[in-house]
Amino acid sequence: MKEIFLPNGMEAMQASYTEYPLEEFNQNPFIQALPPIADKPAVIKKLSMNPSFSEQERKMETVYRLQMINRLYQFFQPLPIHLEIWDMINSLLLQGYLARNPFDPAYKRYLHETGKQIINRSFDINSRQNFRTTAGCGALIGFSGMGKTTSVSRVLSNIPQIIVHNEYRGQHFNQIQLVWLKLDAPSTSSLKALCLQFFMRVDDLLGTNNYKKYVSRNASVDMMLPLIAQLSQNIGLGLLIIDETQNIKGRGADQIMNFFVNLINSGVNLAIIGTPGAYSLFGDELRIARRFTGNSEIIFNNMEYNNEFKFLLESMWRYQWTRKFTPLTEEFAKVIYDETQGISDLIVKLFVYSQQKAISTGKEEITVELMRNVASKKFKLMKEMLNAIRSGNPYKIAKYEDIRRIEIVSTIQQSEVDATEKALKTEKYKEIRKNKVVDVPPIPLMKKAKRNIEYADGDLRLLLKNGVKQQKTPYEILIEHGFIDDMLEWDVGVDP
């Protein structure tokens, strides 16, 4: 694809159309202008980022090597979950554009009618007559520090954000296609703030003046929502990514949720990124949206101590700028996992900090003791969180919503569970209708352990315990031992 620049200086790509073996893709310029579908080896190559490195650099002066170590922050080793993220984003784009063919008469008629309704202020965002969307929703929910945003950015870097069309199959086609747009969820959970961010970001990218044209200080959300839906169609927006969705809380959450669902219904794909704190918020709506695209929910928990974790270490381990190379051993792997609990951001940082410590102190060698010492000093703020993960205690982990582990249940497994529950309920109802008694094994009662507690003399609990044996009420016992005065003995005087 040829690189061009828009009048505002933003980089864009001149449309180049790919012929697919799938007929439905070959009739839509929005789809054909996307990068060709890549197989697994090609995806791995596109996602990989290997920093510049030479063994000769180990002989350079200390001040330079300390700077070279920072190249490790550019390191990116694709793992199976990153391939899932690639598939999710590309599938959303391809499937979402199917119903939005700019040369389809029905779609053009829908856009024209929607525009008239907005002008006449009769537009209903919940009404989608004569338009059946193929848009869907995807979610990436996981631990903080696992590289969710970085992973999505790596995928998006292989997809042009702005594509300029001029001619399609001999027909004049003057169109700017905004393939994807990434926004951050407002910390205030304000739908208006999200809408304003949308208009401003589109204007920055395309050099338009939508914010000035449509938005005023007194513009209401109800006024902006249909404009966003129509603008998304006009610029061919393929995918809207909302990051930091765990910020959506409180009263504004319902408004934003309804906006997301309505946006999908209008034909725009949605991908959300967030920590486990966002999972419960989006659960119900994601189940609704998944009917369009299948299972597009990816859970990004911390890594387990397995071959995948070891593969990541092996891929990274050769980037050593210490004068003495330290081979990777099982002991190193166990120490790194123990100190980072499989959080990828901490894995890279521990490796960087350890090399910096080894070089700056003149030891020039990574050791287990050095790594332990570095982790104890550099990860002080993370200590309580790491201890909670390490313990596996759900009550300790629950204190930190960013590290709450989400158990992964596949759609097939969930369907089997739902089918089993439904079958059991059906059989139960049949038994009730036939007035049959269903034998249910009794639930064994847990016997409380008897506690033999010895109380000291004068202890109120001992007095009450002995009084019960004598069949006396607590009131009688308290009076008998002087804890309550008998009001009849009070000498009450009355002033004349």
User: CA 364, CA 366: separation in Å to the nearest integer?
Assistant: 7
The highest-level CATH class for domain 2-33+79-300 is alpha beta
DSSP string, 422-434: HHHHHHHHHHHHT
Q: How would residue 127 be classed by pLDDT, with cut points 50, 70 and 90?
A: low
The confidence score (pLDDT) of residue 142 equals 87
* Neighbouring-strand partners of residue 141: 274, 299
- Residue 40 above 50 pLDDT? yes
Burial class (CB in 10 A: 0-12, 13-18, 19+), 60: middle
Handedness of CA 111, 115, 120, 122 (dihedral sign): positive
Q: How would residue 199 be classed by pLDDT, with cut points 50, 70 and 90?
A: very high
Q: What is the DSSP letter of 209?
A: -
Backbone angles phi, psi at 145, to 5 degrees: 95, 0
pTM value?
Answer: 0.78
Q: Is 88 helix (H, G, I), strand (E, B) or coil?
A: helix
Q: Is 141 helix (H, G, I), strand (E, B) or coil?
A: strand
Nearest to 73, CA basis, from 44, 50, 46: 50
Distance, CA of 446 to chain centre? 41
Under the phi-then-psi rule, with left for phi > 0, alpha for psi from -120 to 50, and beta for the rest, what region is 267? left
Encoding tokens for residue 175?
């169109």
Q: How would residue 428 be classed by pLDDT, with cut points 50, 70 and 90?
A: very low
176 vs 464, more confident: 176
Segment 342-382, tens digit of pLDDT: 999 999 999 999 999 999 999 999 999 999 999 999 999 88
Contact predicate 179/206, CB 8 Å: no
User: CA 327, CA 350: separation in Å to the nearest integer?
Assistant: 16
The confidence score (pLDDT) of residue 215 equals 81
Contact predicate 152/244, CB 8 Å: no
Q: Which of 57-61, 170-174, 294-298, 395-399 has the lowest mean pLDDT?
A: 294-298
Nearest to 280, CA basis, from 258, 242, 240, 253: 253
Name residue, tokens 């054909």: 32
